[in-house]
């Protein structure tokens, strides 16, 4: 692949690349004309509600469905045995996570339920309300079993074993040992040990998980409307487990109201909905309510990490060591597993630093809580919290400024290509430039003065810095090699119509972040047309090229490149026709603003509508041996690097009220480098939205369980999300280091905000508390934890 | 979730509403702003046979002044109270507290009658009305009674209201000369319930505070008048209330417990912090004169 060259259309003056343009779909959504899965209403459609286990671990002795089946409007009452006849179970492991084990999971629990909220019985009725009425008539006889809640106790001698077939509660364990950690600790001036805790939270989607399955037995066709991030993956999975050929399953994903990784998994209740439609031969709708979302959506980030860092007297970090524990619920999620967070913690910790000595262990255990798996910025918030926590620990131990210690230890901008101690390949990053930019942006020197003056008045303010790396543009190494039906490539089909307008069908999906806008910008720029002449189609497995969907910060970098290449290919096809019609050389022509022009002087030769008219209505006027092709498809997958790392740094200035433990943000800045910026506003929105989700995890969000494994705060009034009044203005700046693997040069930006926010906030709190001798290391950093760190309560 | 089935009636007069209440009693629920009732229904935490919607009863929505009190109809919205000139002049404590309730959308619908009938231990207005010595009018078909705010709240989400009654009016004594109000709360999020809050009202002079009512919420099952704390404060000069005695009195007065937002310890700590803020406000308020 070549990088930007002079005749590259992507980067000529009127290109859309690098420009903020409005989202074509914003008006529709703001007018209330969005089309979400729940807006799908089909003839003969029925609704399903699920009886979910009220216990975290209990044997199902008997299910009495007699009353429920007679209730008004009820169509079917189905239990785990019934559904198992049409929907095969699954096991959430991947081949490349060696040694990983998990138990068979069914769409509805059979024999026993293993978390509070696991679906046990499905009630199908003419309305959801009637299904819920009937649900109250089902009687289940339970035998309550001992529960496993604490992740470390899960491997204890006397721990209840959740799945006997597995022998113990260990899901997976991996270790890493690079360089010579032992020697580094032996010679270190200071060794700092700390335990960091990241508590469980979840991604709360404004639109809850929703699916309508419509099986037509006359042609054996299953049509599924689903709020999902990965239509083709879901197509494969539904086909496999219901026993249909893939081409008999069509997944349609219309508007999605937020997904954040929550909608990239296969859920038992969604499998059950599809199976019910297959059994009943009619459309079945399932829309999760808020309570069941809290109980059944993927949770994430429940980790305890013991860390050790070695530093020399002059501030050189010479070793990192971590021991990471995580409890992931009773089953590994399907098909991505529940081990990726731990894997990323193990692989990415310390990755922005030069240090070559790194030792780590990750332990993933089963427990009786809601399953955990990938949520926006998978593992990164933990990685960044512990890495940047350790670096601040080291700085404090030797009395060095936090910016200074980072400057000394970050991988230098001229050192690329290189690798991390754990072996991650880095093509090109910009840690030093980003740090310099942040220092100016946040006005670091002034803040230090303000902080000192405030302390004089008994006001405690702190600066927190967190550099980070972010994994984007994942290639086949993430899932494909492990055997999951998850494609890393994406495809785009671009078609010129008879009026000279263009339709683009692409494998990524739109979930509110503007993917369709980015794709339109890429095609418009590559092809030479205006944005208003493009329509982008996403989210339909019958229509779009095969693609991975939207996750792993891959939309712009991978689908964007496929769109560029498809646009270029169509341009060549069009210019070939134009050259024939104009009796000139294709090389002498170009396309600009929907016209074929002279390459040399820009003179307009013919509108694209004329190309469309001739090719479709008067092909007889073209030479007999020439066939025009006004459709082009291109696919793209990164091959050289397993993923494109990006980098950046977040900085914040906060004030801690030492009486209440509450935090006020005074400044929040982010510098990030996602390579080529296609649409600055959309990138900034991604960063800001990501930071807000990071603030949620840092200060508010926590799935709290009691020791019976019951979720204590599964409502929006008790599970605290940050609201507009809780978040600061977030200033965003960019460094652009394009990847040379693609022509577009874009890397991902979707997760950078989330990945480093908690670390920046933790470091700021600890900087503020340092004169009081207190320190917080457990997320969320609640008033309670802050006050007890400084001995106020 | 969807609510369990219920019948819905919207009476056109108070008499009709009271008659419905008499007929359906325990099998009925009054719908005011719906900001607590509807979420409870939707989560199936609660169900009823008949919902009696009182939003059409204009007689319950007025804010009026008489010689020594202002009367708030039970379905006066938070927003109406917050912006009422009468309230601002005669019961400023309510105006201080209301912006802390939920978000504007909730304040546009939620009613004062709903707030006190719900008797949420974390709610602002029950505490304010106790501090102000308000009286509630409870009506049933054919009769009415008055009850002091302090006696109305009987437990967590429990009140003296009978199944056949409707809360119709709240009478708040007008602010007397020299009396000051203070309101403070501490919440995890600006738009959520407080972990602990205090409403205070008393006669403030340059030496001391007298006739003090200091009522905490978020700490106990009901709004809690801090009697020991009050006597410590009233018993000495406003500028040197002894901190240790204050804290000891608070520990006697309040009985917080643990919940998902904070421990009992945290709430007690907050009560101490808030008490100091109230005193500081009284001192500076007096200084302004
Ligand atoms: C997101 C959110 C945040 C909130 N935050 C706060 C907060 O910070 N502080 C706070 O105090 N509240 C808060 N609330 C609750 C809100 O204030 C409610 O409006 C209030 O508790 C009930 O008032 P309502 O008029 O909506 O009553 P409804 O919900 O209609 O009724 C509440 C209860 O009172 C009964 N009832 C209502 N009126 C009468 C009457 N006249 N006579 C007899 N019984 C009656 C009903 O039958 C029901 O049992 C919040 C609510 C939400 C949804």
- Residue of chain B whose alpha carbon sits nearest to that of A699: B188
Alpha carbons within 13 angstroms on the beta-carbon side of residue A721 total 15
Angstrom distance (rounded) from CA A556 to CA A686: 12
How close is the nearest chain B Cα to the Cα of A107, in Å? 21
Question: Which residue of B22, B30, B152, B194 sits with most ligand 1 atoms within 8 Å of its CB, as the best mutation to test the pocket?
Answer: B30
Question: Which residue of B21, B34, B36 sits with most ligand 1 atoms within 8 Å of its CB, as the best mutation to test the pocket?
Answer: B36
- Which one, of A75, A51, A72, lies nearest residue A125 by Cα? A75
B3 Cβ under 8 Å from any chain A Cβ: yes
Alpha carbon of A47 to those of A244, A250, A457, A594: distances in Å? 23, 20, 62, 48
Fold of A377-473+642-789: Aldehyde Oxidoreductase; domain 4 (3.30.365)
What are the residues whose beta carbons fall under 8 Å from the beta carbon of A158, sequence distance 6 or more? Answer: none
pLDDT digits (tens, 9 = 90+) for B51-93: 999 999 999 999 999 999 999 999 999 999 999 999 999 999 9
Nearest CA to ligand 1 atom 23: B114
Q: Is the pLDDT of residue B288 over 60?
A: no
How close is the nearest chain B Cα to the Cα of A784, in Å? 6
B273 Cβ under 8 Å from any chain A Cβ: yes
CB A625 within 8 A of CB A616: no
Q: Is the pLDDT of residue B289 over 70?
A: no
Ligand 1 within 6 A of B170 CB?
no
Does the N-terminal peptide bond of residue B15 adopt cis geometry, omega within 30 degrees of 0? no
- Under 8 Å CB pairs connecting chains A and B tally to 63
Angstrom distance (rounded) from CA A514 to CA A555: 10
pLDDT digits (tens, 9 = 90+) for B213-253: 999 999 999 999 999 999 999 999 998 899 999 999 999 99
DSSP strands (E only) in B151-232: 153-155, 158-159, 166-173, 179-187, 194-204, 209-217, 224-225
Residue A523 CA to ligand 1 centre (angstroms):
53
Per DSSP, chain B holds a count of helices (H) and strands (E) of 12, 14
Ligand 1 within 6 A of B73 CB?
no
Using left for φ > 0, alpha for ψ between -120 and 50, and beta otherwise, residue A315 falls in: left
Which positions in chain A touch B269 (Cβ < 8 Å)? 787, 792-793
| Cross-strand bridge partners of residue B51 | B8, B29
Ligand 1 within 6 A of B35 CB?
yes
Give the domain ranges of chain A: 3-34+489-636, 37-145+208-256+262-296, 377-473+642-789
Instruction: Name the maximum alpha-carbon separation found in chain A.
Output: 89
Task: Give phi and psi for A580, each to the nearest 5.
Answer: -65, -45
Does the N-terminal peptide bond of residue A780 adopt cis geometry, omega within 30 degrees of 0? yes
Shortest-distance atom of ligand 1 to CA B38 = 29
What are the residues whose beta carbons fall under 8 Å from the beta carbon of B45, sequence distance 6 or more? Answer: none
Angstrom distance (rounded) from CA B120 to CA B139: 22
Which positions in chain B touch A712 (Cβ < 8 Å)? 260
DSSP-assigned letter for residue A707: T
DSSP strands (E only) in A674-736: 731-734
Which positions in chain A touch B4 (Cβ < 8 Å)? 132-133, 136
Angstrom distance (rounded) from CA B267 to CA B252: 14
How close is the nearest chain A Cα to the Cα of B137, in Å? 31
Question: Which residue of B26, B107, B110 sits with most ligand 1 atoms within 8 Å of its CB, as the best mutation to test the pocket?
Answer: B110
Ligand 1 within 6 A of B37 CB?
yes
The whole-number pLDDT of residue A7 equals: 59
How do A731-734 and A663-673 pair as beta strands? parallel
Which positions in chain A touch B185 (Cβ < 8 Å)? none
Q: Dump the DSSP string for B27-85.
A: GEEEESS-TTHHHHHHTTS---SEEEE-TT-GGGS-EEE-SSEEEEETT-BHHHHHT-H
Fold of A37-145+208-256+262-296: Aldehyde Oxidoreductase; domain 3 (3.90.1170)
- Which one, of B22, B254, B229, lies nearest residue B139 by Cα? B22
Ligand 1 within 6 A of B101 CB?
yes
How close is the nearest chain B Cα to the Cα of A507, in Å? 34
Angstrom distance (rounded) from CA A27 to CA A345: 40
* CA pseudo-torsion sign A33, A36, A37, A38: negative
- Residue of chain A whose alpha carbon sits nearest to that of B270: A660
Ligand 1 within 6 A of B110 CB?
yes
Q: Domains in chain B and their CATH numbers? A: 7-53 (3.30.43.10), 59-173 (3.30.465.10), 179-287 (3.30.390.50)
What is the CB neighbour count within 10 angstroms for residue B207? 11
> Which structure tokens are listed for A137?
């008539």
Angstrom distance (rounded) from CA A269 to CA A50: 8
How close is the nearest chain A Cα to the Cα of B151, in Å? 29
Which positions in chain B touch A720 (Cβ < 8 Å)? 188-189, 192, 261
B41 Cβ under 8 Å from any chain A Cβ: no
Mean pLDDT by 10 residues, chain A (793 residues): 54 91 90 96 98 98 98 98 98 96 98 98 98 97 98 96 98 98 97 98 97 97 98 98 98 96 98 98 98 98 98 98 98 98 98 98 98 97 98 98 98 98 98 98 98 98 98 93 95 98 96 94 97 97 96 94 98 98 97 96 97 98 97 97 97 98 98 97 97 98 97 95 95 97 96 97 98 97 98 96
Ligand 1 within 6 A of B193 CB?
yes
pTM over the 0.95 mark: yes
Residue A569 CA to ligand 1 centre (angstroms):
62
- Which one, of A530, A509, A519, lies nearest residue A562 by Cα? A519
Which positions in chain A touch B3 (Cβ < 8 Å)? 129
Contact A659 B273 (CB under 8 A): yes
> Which structure tokens are listed for B227?
């009697």
Interhelix angle for B243-253 vs B264-287, to 10°?
Answer: 130
Q: Percent of chain B scored above 70 by pLDDT?
A: 99
Contact A783 B190 (CB under 8 A): no
What is the CB neighbour count within 10 angstroms for residue A534? 21
Q: Do domains A3-34+489-636 and A377-473+642-789 have the same CATH topology?
A: yes
| DSSP 3-state of B265 | helix
CB A670 within 8 A of CB A687: yes
* CA angle in degrees (0–180, nearest 5) for A438-A441-A446: 105
Residue B31 CA to ligand 1 centre (angstroms):
9
- Which one, of A396, A403, A303, A412, lies nearest residue A349 by Cα? A303
In this structure, of A10-14, A604-608, B103-107, B131-135, the range with the lowest mean pLDDT score is A10-14
Question: Which residue of B21, B31, B118, B138 sits with most ligand 1 atoms within 8 Å of its CB, as the best mutation to test the pocket?
Answer: B118
Distance in Å from the first CA to the final CA of chain B: 55
Instruction: Name the helix (H) or strand (E) containing B144.
Output: strand B143-148
B4 Cβ under 8 Å from any chain A Cβ: yes
CATH architecture group of domain A3-34+489-636: 2-Layer Sandwich (3.30)
B152 Cβ under 8 Å from any chain A Cβ: no
CB A362 within 8 A of CB A174: yes
Ligand 1 within 6 A of B118 CB?
yes
């Amino acid at each position: 692949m070549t990088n930007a060259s002079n005749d590259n259309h992507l980067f000529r003056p009127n290109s859309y690349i690098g420009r903020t343009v409005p989202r074509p779909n914003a008006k529709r959504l703001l007018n209330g004309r969005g089309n979400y899965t729940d807006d799908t209403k089909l003839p003969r459609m029925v609704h399903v509600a699920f009886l979910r286990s009220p216990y975290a671990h209990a044997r199902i002795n008997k299910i009495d469905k007699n009353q429920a089946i007679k209730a008004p409007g009820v169509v079917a009452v189905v239990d785990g045995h019934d559904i198992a006849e049409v929907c095969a179970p699954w096991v959430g492991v991947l081949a490349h996570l060696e040694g990983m084990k998990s138990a068979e999971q069914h769409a509805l629990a059979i024999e026993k339920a293993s978390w509070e909220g696991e679906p046990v019985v499905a009630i199908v009725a003419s309305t959801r309300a009637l299904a819920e009425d009937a649900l109250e008539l089902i009687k289940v006889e339970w035998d309550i079993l001992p529960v496993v809640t604490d992740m470390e106790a899960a491997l204890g001698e006397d721990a209840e074993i959740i799945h006997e077939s597995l022998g113990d509660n260990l899901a997976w364990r991996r270790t890493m040992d690079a360089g010579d950690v032992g020697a580094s600790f032996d010679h270190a001036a200071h060794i700092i040990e700390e335990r960091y805790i990241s508590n469980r939270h979840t991604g709360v989607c404004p639109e809850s998980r929703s699916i309508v399955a419509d099986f037509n037995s006359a042609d054996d066709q299953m049509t599924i409307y689903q709020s999902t991030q990965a239509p083709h993956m879901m197509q494969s999975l539904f086909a496999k487990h219901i026993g249909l050929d893939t081409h008999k399953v069509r997944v349609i994903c219309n508007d999605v109201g937020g997904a954040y990784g929550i909608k990239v998994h296969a859920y038992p209740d969604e499998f059950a909905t599809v199976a019910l439609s297959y059994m009943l031969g009619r459309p079945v709708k399932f829309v999760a309510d808020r309570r069941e979302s809290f109980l059944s959506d993927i949770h994430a980030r429940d980790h305890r990490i013991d860390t050790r860092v070695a530093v020399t007297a002059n501030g050189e970090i010479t070793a990192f060591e971590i021991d990471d524990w995580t409890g992931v619920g009773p089953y590994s999620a399907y098909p991505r597993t529940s081990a990726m967070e731990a894997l990323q913690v193990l692989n990415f910790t310390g990755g922005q630093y030069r240090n070559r000595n790194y030792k780590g262990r990750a332990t993933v255990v089963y427990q009786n809580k809601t399953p955990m798996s990938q949520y926006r910025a998978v593992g990164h918030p933990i990685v960044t919290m512990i890495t940047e926590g350790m670096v601040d620990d080291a700085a404090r131990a030797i009395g060095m400024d936090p910016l200074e210690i980072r400057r000394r230890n970050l991988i230098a901008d001229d050192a690329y290509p290189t690798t991390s101690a754990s072996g991650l390949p880095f093509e090109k990053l910009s840690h030093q430039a980003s740090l310099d930019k942040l220092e100016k942006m946040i006005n670091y020197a002034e803040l230090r003065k303000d902080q000192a003056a405030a302390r004089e008045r008994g006001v405690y303010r702190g600066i927190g810095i967190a550099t980070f790396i972010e994994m984007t543009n994942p290639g086949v190494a993430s899932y494909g090699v492990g055997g999951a039906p998850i494609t890393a490539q994406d495809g785009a089909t671009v078609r010129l119509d008879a009026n000279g307008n263009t339709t683009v069908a692409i494998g990524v999906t739109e979930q509110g972040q503007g993917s369709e806008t980015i794709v339109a910008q890429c095609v418009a720029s590559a092809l030479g047309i205006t944005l208003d002449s493009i329509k982008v189609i996403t989210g339909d497995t019958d229509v779009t090229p095969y693609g991975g969907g939207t996750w792993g910060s891959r939309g712009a970098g991978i689908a964007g490149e496929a769109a560029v290449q498809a646009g270029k290919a169509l341009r060549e096809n069009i210019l070939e026709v134009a050259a024939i019609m104009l009796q000139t050389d294709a090389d002498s022509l170009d396309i600009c603003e929907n016209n074929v022009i002279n390459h040399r002087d820009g003179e307009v030769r013919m509108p694209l509508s004329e190309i469309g008219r001739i090719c479709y209505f008067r092909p007889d006027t073209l030479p007999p041996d020439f066939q025009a092709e006004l459709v082009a498809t291109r696919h793209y997958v990164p091959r050289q690097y397993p993923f494109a790392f990006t980098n950046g740094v977040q900085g914040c200035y906060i004030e801690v009220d030492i009486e209440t433990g509450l935090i006020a943000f005074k400044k929040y800045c982010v510098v990030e480098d996602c390579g080529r910026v296609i649409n600055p506003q959309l990138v900034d929105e991604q960063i800001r939205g990501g930071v807000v989700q990071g603030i949620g995890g840092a200060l508010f969000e926590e799935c709290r369980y009691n020791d019976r494994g019951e979720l204590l705060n599964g409502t929006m009034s008790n599970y605290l999300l940050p609201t507009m009044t809780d978040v600061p203005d977030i200033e965003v700046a960019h460094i652009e280091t394009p990847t040379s693997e693609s022509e577009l040069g874009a890397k991902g930006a979707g997760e950078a905000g989330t990945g480093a926010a908690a670390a920046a906030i933790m470091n700021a709190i600890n900087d503020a508390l340092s004169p009081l001798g207190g320190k917080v290391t457990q997320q969320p950093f609640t008033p309670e934890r802050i006050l007890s760190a400084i001995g106020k309560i | 979730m969807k609510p369990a089935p219920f019948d819905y009636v919207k009476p056109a007069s108070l008499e009709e509403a009271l008659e419905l209440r008499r007929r359906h009693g325990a099998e009925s629920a009054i719908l005011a702003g719906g900001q607590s009732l509807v979420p409870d229904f939707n989560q199936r935490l609660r169900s009823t046979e008949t919902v009696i919607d009182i939003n059409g009863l204009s007689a319950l929505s007025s804010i009026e002044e008489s010689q020594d009190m202002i009367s708030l109809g039970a379905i006066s919205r938070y927003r109406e109270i917050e912006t009422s000139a009468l309230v601002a002049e005669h019961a400023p404590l309510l105006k201080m507290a209301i912006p802390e309730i939920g978000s504007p959308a909730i304040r546009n619908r939620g009613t004062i009658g709903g707030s006190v009938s719900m008797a949420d231990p974390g709610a602002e207005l029950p505490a304010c009305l106790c501090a102000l010595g308000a009286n509630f009018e409870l009506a049933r078909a054919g009769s009415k009674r008055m009850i002091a705010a302090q006696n109305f709240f009987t437990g967590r989400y429990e009140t003296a209201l009978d199944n056949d009654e409707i809360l119709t009016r709240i009478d708040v004594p007008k602010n007397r000369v020299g009396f000051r109000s203070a309101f403070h709360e501490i919440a995890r999020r600006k738009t959520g319930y407080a972990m602990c809050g205090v409403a205070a009202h008393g006669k403030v002079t340059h030496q001391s505070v007298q006739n003090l009512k200091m009522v905490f919420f978020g700490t106990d099952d009901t709004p809690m008048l801090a009697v020991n704390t009050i006597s410590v404060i009233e018993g000495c000069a406003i500028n040197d209330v002894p901190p240790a005695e204050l804290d000891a009195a608070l520990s006697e007065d309040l009985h917080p417990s643990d919940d998902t937002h904070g421990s009992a310890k945290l709430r007690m700590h907050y009560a101490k912090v808030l008490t100091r803020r109230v005193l500081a406000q009284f001192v500076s308020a007096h200084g302004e004169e």
